[in-house]
């Protein structure tokens, strides 16, 4: 089956790429997909350090899906176990936890993240290449350090030294690093150096105008790409994720 690949999606090699988050430089210019990070960033100000002084608890997460394809619930359980050795805890908000936000808004949760928690667990419910949802913004927007778990190459999308990668570190080492950062304020402050150089915002809703313009471009009709197996391009691991026998998969 031959499928024309128009590619309007989160994958960065799409013809019209779309992403949940967008990175801007200090002049508010969007940096696009090809990011060249500054690795020599300025330290945060004393005023900003003061804004972090009310934090007292290790980590929080908001969960509205209790069972996930990514198995993040097992990661969370293991991380809790290792943090317990340091007398640190994770508070779970939402339908899957013991803590609640407001009835109609997450704003009360955001306030607690900003004032109380050192880390926010941005654990994806699915593991897929290039897949980062706006849950990471719950941390960035509220002066907490995101702990990420997913299938993306996070160094391509998030400022260096601004997050902890749970996939790379594993639960035991991650717990140790979190403990050390909480008890070494200089190390914790360094997670926020990126704020002197970048801003990260939720991407705007996909505008239909670029799509119309693209489809009406005669040049694309001559040079447009196509894939024989679109589903495999979209998600190379779809068979494993869906528990399918590869011998009988229709791509």
Phi, psi of 199 (to 5 degrees): -135, 150
Q: Is 71 a residue whose pLDDT tops 90?
A: yes
The encoded tokens of residue 80 equal 């809790």
Going by C-alpha positions, the residue among 11, 131, 153, 139 that lies closest to residue 69 is 131
* pLDDT tens, residue by residue, 21-31: 889 998 888 88
DSSP readout, 27-95? Answer: T--B--SS----SSPPPPPHHHHHHTTT--EEEEEE-S-SS-TT-HHHHHHHHHHHHHTTT--EEEEST
Per the confidence metrics, is the pTM higher than 0.85? no
Domain ranges across the chain: 3-15+206-248, 21-202
Distance CA 228, CA 3 (A): 6
Q: Which of 11-15, 26-30, 160-164, 225-229 has the lowest mean pLDDT?
A: 11-15
At the top level of CATH, which class does the domain 21-202 belong to?
Answer: alpha beta
153 — alpha (psi -120 to 50), left (phi > 0) or beta? beta
| Residue 163, both tokens | 């997050």
Query: Is the Cβ–Cβ distance between 157 and 42 less than 8 Å?
Result: no
What is the rounded distance in angstroms from the CA atom of residue 157 to the CA atom of residue 11? 12
* pLDDT digits 0-9 by tens, 180-216: 999 999 999 999 999 999 999 887 766 667 667 767 7
Query: pLDDT digit string (tens) for 100-149?
Result: 987 677 889 999 999 999 999 999 998 877 788 889 999 999 999 999 99
pLDDT for 18-67, tens place per residue?
A: 567 889 998 888 887 767 899 999 999 999 999 999 999 999 999 999 99
Helices (H) and strands (E) in the chain, counts: 10, 11
């Amino acid at each position: 089956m031959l499928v024309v690949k128009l590619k309007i999606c989160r994958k960065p090699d799409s013809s019209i790429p779309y992403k949940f988050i967008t990175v801007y430089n200090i002049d508010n210019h969007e940096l696009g997909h090809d990011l060249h990070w500054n690795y020599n960033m300025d330290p945060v100000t004393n005023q900003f350090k003061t804004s972090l002084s009310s934090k007292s608890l290790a980590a929080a997460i908001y969960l509205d899906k209790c069972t996930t394809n990514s198995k993040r619930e097992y990661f969370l359980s293991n991380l809790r176990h290792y943090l317990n050795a340091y007398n640190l805890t994770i508070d779970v908000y939402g339908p899957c936890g013991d803590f609640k936000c407001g009835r109609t808004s997450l704003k009360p949760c955001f306030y607690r993240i900003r004032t109380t928690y050192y880390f926010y667990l941005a654990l994806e419910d699915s593991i897929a290449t290039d897949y980062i949802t706006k849950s990471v913004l719950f941390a960035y927007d509220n002066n907490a350090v995101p702990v990420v778990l997913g299938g993306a190459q996070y160094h391509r999308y998030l400022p260096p030294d601004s997050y902890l990668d749970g996939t790379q570190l594993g639960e035991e080492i991650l717990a140790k690093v979190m403990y050390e950062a909480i008890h070494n304020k200089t190390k914790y402050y360094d997670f926020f150096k990126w704020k002197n150089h970048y801003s990260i915002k939720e991407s705007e809703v996909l505008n239909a105008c670029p799509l119309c313009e693209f489809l009406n471009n005669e040049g694309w009709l001559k040079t447009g790409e196509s894939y024989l197996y679109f589903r495999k391009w979209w998600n190379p691991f779809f068979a494993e994720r869906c528990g399918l026998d590869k011998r009988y998969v229709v791509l």
